[in-house]
């Protein structure tokens, strides 16, 4: 049985990945800053078919939290096979107005959190001496700027993740450890609406659906299937890649005429 760690596993794409891995019979560790949602995800993973499951409260921006979580996972679920470094946040603002504290919080969670997750996942994979797979959540914002603007911190963090993925893929290929990124587009999650007031959401949703070539937002389960494929042996010759699941956004010219 494989042991898979998912950060941000209490909701959204992370939770969907945890459930799909559970359905394959994996051992699943769901880590989330919300301990209750992590515990619920673990319980639901067991019901979905997981061989074993663990839900842990974990702030991925704090190294001691990540180190402690991975130590517990190793003790309770056995040798690691894969990790989905997915926990993230968004706090918008134009750069000339952006408080340094807000910038740092986004970078600490999104980029440093991925670094720390990968650091401790790699340590366990190397100690186990067997091949494995790591998937990190990037974004179209790593490549292009969001038309709505004011996403400098988020975009910088995701660009950093994409660069880190390429470096880790090369550094650890010799050990049979693959590192890839998934690039979800507009997906129906809490993060999608983090910076949109509830009264404004219907109009924003309509605009997004008009702009996305496939004409809709993704369900979390859709990019999750891409992640689970990258975590599986079915993608055994794929490393250093970015699997784009964005409904066609990056393929589209910015001018809508």
Question: Per-residue pLDDT averaged across 13-42, rounded?
Answer: 98
- Give the neighbor-by-neighbor strand order of the sheet with 27-32: 52-57, 27-32, 3-7, 82-85, 132-137, 177-184, 242-245
pLDDT one-digit tens code per residue, 229-255? 999 999 999 999 999 999 999 999 877
Q: How far apart (Å, rounded) are the C-alpha atoms in residues 27 and 18?
A: 9
Q: Where are the domains of the chain?
A: 3-245
The average confidence (pLDDT) of the chain is: 95
CATH 3.40.50.720 fits 3-245, yes or no: yes
Query: For residues 18 and 200, which has the higher predicted lDDT (pLDDT)?
Result: 18
pLDDT band (50, 70, 90) for residue 193:
confident
pLDDT at position 257, please? 63
Percent of the chain with pLDDT over 90: 88
pLDDT one-digit tens code per residue, 58-69? 999 999 999 999
pLDDT at position 181, please? 98
pLDDT at position 242, please? 98
* From 81, 154, 172, 237, the catalytic residue: 154
pLDDT at position 204, please? 85
Let me know if 81 is a catalytic residue. no
| pTM for this entry | 0.96
pLDDT one-digit tens code per residue, 100-129? 999 999 999 999 999 999 999 999 999 999
Least confident of 46-55, 118-127, 196-205: 196-205
> How many residues does the structure list for the chain?
257
Q: Which of 8, 39, 42, 7 has its CA nearest to residue 26?
A: 42
pLDDT at position 189, please? 87
Please count the CA atoms within 13 angstroms of the CA of 197 that sit on its side-chain side: 2
User: For residue 170, is pLDDT > 90?
Assistant: yes
């Amino acid at each position: 049985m494989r042991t898979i760690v998912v950060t941000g596993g209490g909701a959204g794409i992370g939770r969907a990945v945890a459930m799909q891995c559970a359905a394959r019979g994996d051992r699943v560790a769901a880590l989330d800053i919300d301990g209750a949602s992590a515990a619920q995800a673990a319980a639901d993973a067991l019901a979905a078919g997981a061989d074993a499951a663990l839900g842990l409260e974990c702030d991925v921006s704090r190294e001691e939290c990540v180190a402690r979580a991975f130590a517990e996972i190793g003790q309770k679920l056995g040798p690691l096979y894969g990790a989905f470094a997915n926990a993230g946040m968004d706090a918008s603002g134009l750069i000339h107005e952006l408080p340094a504290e807000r910038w740092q919080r986004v970078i600490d969670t999104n980029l440093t959190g991925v670094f720390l997750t990968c650091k401790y996942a790699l340590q366990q994979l190397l100690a186990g001496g067997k091949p494995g797979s790591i998937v990190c959540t990037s974004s179209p914002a790593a490549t292009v700027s969001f038309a709505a603007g004011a996403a400098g911190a988020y975009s910088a963090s995701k660009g950093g993740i994409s660069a880190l993925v390429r470096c880790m893929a090369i550094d650890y290929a010799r050990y049979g450890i693959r590192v890839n990124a998934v690039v979800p587009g507009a997906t129906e999650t809490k993060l999608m609406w983090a910076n949109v007031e509830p009264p404004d959401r219907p109009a924003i949703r309509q605009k997004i659906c008009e702009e996305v070539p496939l004409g809709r937002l993704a369900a979390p389960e859709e990019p999750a299937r891409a992640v689970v494929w990258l975590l599986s042996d079915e993608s055994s010759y794929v490393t250093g890649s970015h699997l784009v699941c964005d409904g066609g956004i990056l393929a589209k010219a910015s001018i809508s005429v």
